[in-house]
Amino acid sequence: MTAMIMHDSTMTLPRSAPGGFWQNSLAAGLAVALHVIVLALLVHGWSLEKTPVSQPAVLKTQLVMLPPEPQVQAPERAPAIEQPAPPEPVAAAPVEPIKPAVDPQLQAQKREQAALARKRVEDKKLEQQAEQQRERLETQRRDRETQQRQLAQQQEQRAEQARLAAERSRRPAAQNAADIRQYLPLSKEAPDYPQRALDKNIEGDCSVEYTVNPQGKVENPRVLDGCHPLFIRPSLAAANTFRYQPRVVDGQAVAVPAVRNTFHYRIK
């Protein structure tokens, strides 16, 4: 669209006097401003024609009557037809598997192997029986040897008893009575443990030799070699307190020399 601006005589600015700077610049500014306004209106869709008013839409309806639908009769049901029963299944006869042809040579080999296996089993049984027989014989032999040794020992014991009985029978009655009444200890007191030995944790043994007189008392006690010096005095003192039943020979009490007694000193 093209807009034309008509210059009217009323809108024309009076001419300025020749040489007027301010009058020319004012006219030029107004012209530029009018052109800018017109151009902006054109860009935004401004036109001189009026916008037509839209008519409201009208909906027209019409009633239409449809004829009734015809009724459809259901078809008659045909009578059911009886179907024959299915035949019973017939069991099939078992089919025997086809046996392969037997090789006579293979059968002979199998028979030979079975015979060898039986023979090995029988040989093993015979070996076991022989081994058991040998073990039984060995056990019997050991039993016989044991019995023979026991018999020999019993014979030796009987012979020793017979010898002792013969010796007793050869002795006189007084000697037999003396053998019965040997010297026997009646009382023995333990020695006192030396205090110095206790302090030093010394242990040991001390043997004392003495004579038992006809009254059953100890005479001439002495300490044998190997006795610790701390144990000598208490050992002699304890030996002097011993009392014995006197030894009787032929009805007379006699002294018994070289009687020994060992004292054991232990810290418990």
For the stretch 36-59, pLDDT in tens is 887 877 776 655 555 555 666 666
How high is the mean pLDDT of the chain? 76
Write the pLDDT tens digit of every residue in 184-215.
888 888 898 999 988 899 999 999 999 999 99
In the chain, the amino acid numbered 223 is V
User: Residues 6 or more apart from 162 whose CB is under 8 A from it?
Assistant: none
Q: Residue 142 has what pLDDT?
A: 87
Q: Residue 249 has what pLDDT?
A: 86
Q: Are 211 and 260 in contact (CB under 8 A)?
A: no
**Residue 159 φ/ψ, nearest 5 degrees:** -65, -40
Q: Are 191 and 238 in contact (CB under 8 A)?
A: yes
More confident residue, 31 or 76: 31
More confident residue, 101 or 199: 199
Q: Are 155 and 212 in contact (CB under 8 A)?
A: no
More confident residue, 60 or 261: 261
Write the pLDDT tens digit of every residue in 63-83.
666 666 666 565 556 555 655
Mean predicted confidence (pLDDT) in 168-174:
60
Mean predicted confidence (pLDDT) in 135-147:
88
Considering the entire predicted model, what is its pTM? Answer: 0.34
Q: Residue 163 has what pLDDT?
A: 79
Nearest to 257 by CA among 226, 219, 227: 219
Write the pLDDT tens digit of every residue in 86-96.
666 555 556 66
Q: Is pLDDT of 98 > 80?
A: no
Token pair for 167: 């010796």
Give the highest mean pLDDT range of 12-16, 78-82, 102-106, 193-197: 193-197
Nearest to 232 by CA among 255, 210, 263, 211: 263
H helices present in the chain, as ranges:
21-43, 104-170, 173-180, 195-199, 229-240
Q: Is pLDDT of 152 > 60?
A: yes
Region label for 226, one of left (φ > 0), alpha (ψ between -120 and 50) or beta (otherwise): left
User: Residues 6 or more apart from 85 whose CB is under 8 A from it?
Assistant: none
CA 255 to chain centre: 77
Q: Are 188 and 242 in contact (CB under 8 A)?
A: yes
The structure tokens 């598997």 sit at 97
* Percent above pLDDT 70 for the chain: 64
Burial (CB count <10 Å: 0-12, 13-18, 19+), residue 114: exposed
